[in-house]
Amino acid sequence: MSWQWEIFLQDPGGKHPTYWQWMLSAWGWTVSVSLLALIIALSIGSLIGILRTLPDSPWLVRLGNAWVELFRNIPLLVQIFLWYHVIPALIPPMKEVNSFILVVLALGFFTSARIAEQVRAGIQALPKGQRYAGMALGFTTAQYYRYVILPMAYRIIIPPLTSESMNIFKNSSVAFAVSVSELTMFAMQAQEETSRGVEIYLAVTALYAISAFVINRIMAYIEKKSQVPGFIVAGGAGGGH
């Protein structure tokens, strides 16, 4: 077979003058969905993860556990359909929200469960003595979490957080199902219009790989900068897709 890369210079006849410009705009949507979802996932995930390790509050721990089980045991695509079809029907004001925001929420909540699991594991990996040391100094619970436990726990979980951040970019591809014009949606539509699937899929796959690689390098930089000299942390194992 012969390559026809000039396909990217053609006019798709929509709001974008050429296919490559359409693709770059789609990449922009992929990056925005992923980064916004990552912010949501990190904030909610941290909160839920911390709740699950609080002493003397069994109901908050149960709430945290229920959150994780709920969002971890339903496939992401089904969760996206719930946000898109079911929640607007149950809560009428959600009808005004566009599908981009709904996908960000779905992906963010889905990933928050995985991040909560890692934050909990990171906190529990610390020796109990660290918590007691904080208490002995007269810190309140909030204070010893802020100044003693969390700074160490976050350093421990940087490796699994790295793979989770890369996962969020890969998982954002599921947004095609509710017609967010991100990379996968572009790939499917452009393939149909031009019948040059190989060139288009290659370019889109390369953009996904580049995105994942850039996130990986950023996290490696953060890991290096935040290292405590002389303290070697054991890397946890990441999982999932």
Alpha-carbon span 227 to 174, nearest angstrom: 35
Q: Which stretch binds another protein (CB under 8 A): 11-19, 36-44, 98-106, 232-240?
A: 232-240
CB atoms within 10 A of CB 99: 17
Contact flag: residue 209 with another protein (CB under 8 A): yes
Tell the smallest beta-carbon distance from residue 5 to another protein (Å).
17
Render the burial of 16-41: b for 16+ CB within 10 Å, e for the rest. Answer: beebeebbeebbebbbebbebbbebb
Contact flag: residue 234 with another protein (CB under 8 A): no
CB-based burial label for 160 (10 Å; 0-12, 13-18, 19+): buried
Helices (H), the chain: 19-51, 58-72, 76-81, 87-90, 99-125, 128-136, 141-144, 150-156, 158-171, 183-194, 197-225
Contact flag: residue 213 with another protein (CB under 8 A): yes
| Residue 145 vs 169, nearer CB to another protein | 169
Smallest CA-to-CA distance from 162 within 123, 212, 124, 206 is with: 212
Contact flag: residue 192 with another protein (CB under 8 A): no
Tell the smallest beta-carbon distance from residue 72 to another protein (Å).
8
Two tokens, residue 94? 């959600």
Site for another protein in 110-139 (CB under 8 A): none
Alpha-carbon span 59 to 187, nearest angstrom: 46
| Residue 145 vs 176, nearer CB to another protein | 176
Binding mask 167-186 for another protein (x = CB under 8 A): --xxxxxx-xx------x--
Q: Which stretch binds another protein (CB under 8 A): 49-57, 71-79, 123-131, 152-160?
A: 71-79
Contact flag: residue 67 with another protein (CB under 8 A): no
Binding site for another protein (CB under 8 A): 69-70, 72-79, 81-82, 85-86, 89-90, 166, 169-174, 176-177, 184, 187-188, 191, 197-198, 201, 204-205, 208-209, 212-213, 237, 239-241
